[in-house]
Amino acid sequence: MGLLDDRIVLVNGGSQGVGAAIARAAVREGAVVAVSGRRPEPGETLVAELTAGGGKAMFVRADLADAEQARASVTRVVEAYGRVDCLVNSAGLTTRGTLLDTTPELFDQHVAVNLKAPFFAMQAAVADMVRREAPGTIVNIITSSAHGGQPFLAPYVAAKAGLIGLTRNAAHAHRWDRIRINGVNIGWTATEGEDATQRAFHGAGDDWREQAAARLPMGKLGQPDEIADFVVLLLSDRSGVVTGSVIDWDQNVLGGLD
């Protein structure tokens, strides 16, 4: 359909999982895509896949826990392509911690990746758009757990709930610049990272996905490619004037009780 024809799209945290799916979908819709990540191997492998299929893509090495590197992820793309039209903040740290056992160090790690990195990447992207007096779109990948979440996700929830507020604040501040900023609260999703988390923290076996799916209303976990299609729509002009929206992309209904 070419929803993102000729757009320059940066997907921070885009070398695997939901971010990689968004990168694939954006290339399929005509975008030039940059993906950032801390580890070169998965990022460069993804870029090789995208370019082998005829797409245009680059990898930007960035440890998003460092605010300066989060900012630099945007400036690297602007240096390479002259601008950034769309930004997706998809990096996420999900290490476990409750209110009682979370250390200040763990809390700071969550804030750095889940809140500070999006803040400063958005700062750099919006600055480029404002400098050019050009419209742009930003989508923040958040989490349905930001509504309250599980007890073992206390620092994660705190940081991601902050990202919801940031999304709305930035959208309001820059609507007259024609910069649309939205968020997606994704639910339980089948990714490589989730597989590692389930095994490391919950003792999950090889069949954990099947067991989880059987307990969910739609009979399956969220799928990265489906989330990616939705994000591409929000990045594109087809989503119209919507800005400041944080949309629940989940099969559980907030406030619904059985």
Number of domains making up the chain: 1
Q: Is residue 258 part of a domain?
A: no
Chunked mean pLDDT (size 10), the chain, 258 residues: 94 94 97 96 96 96 97 98 98 94 98 98 98 98 95 97 98 98 90 77 83 88 93 98 97 88
Q: Is residue 256 part of a domain?
A: no
The catalytic residues are 156
pLDDT at 202: 79
Q: What is the CATH number of the domain that holds 90?
A: 3.40.50.720
pLDDT at 248: 96
Q: Give the long-range contacts of residues 108-113, CB within 8 A, separation 24 or more.
A: 109/65, 109/155, 110/155, 110/156, 110/158, 110/159, 111/155, 111/158, 111/159, 111/162, 112/64, 112/65, 112/66, 112/67, 113/64, 113/65, 113/159
Q: Is residue 208 part of a domain?
A: no
Q: Is residue 101 part of a domain?
A: yes
pLDDT at 54: 93
pLDDT at 106: 98
**Structural domain boundaries, residue 90:** 8-187+222-249
pLDDT at 230: 97
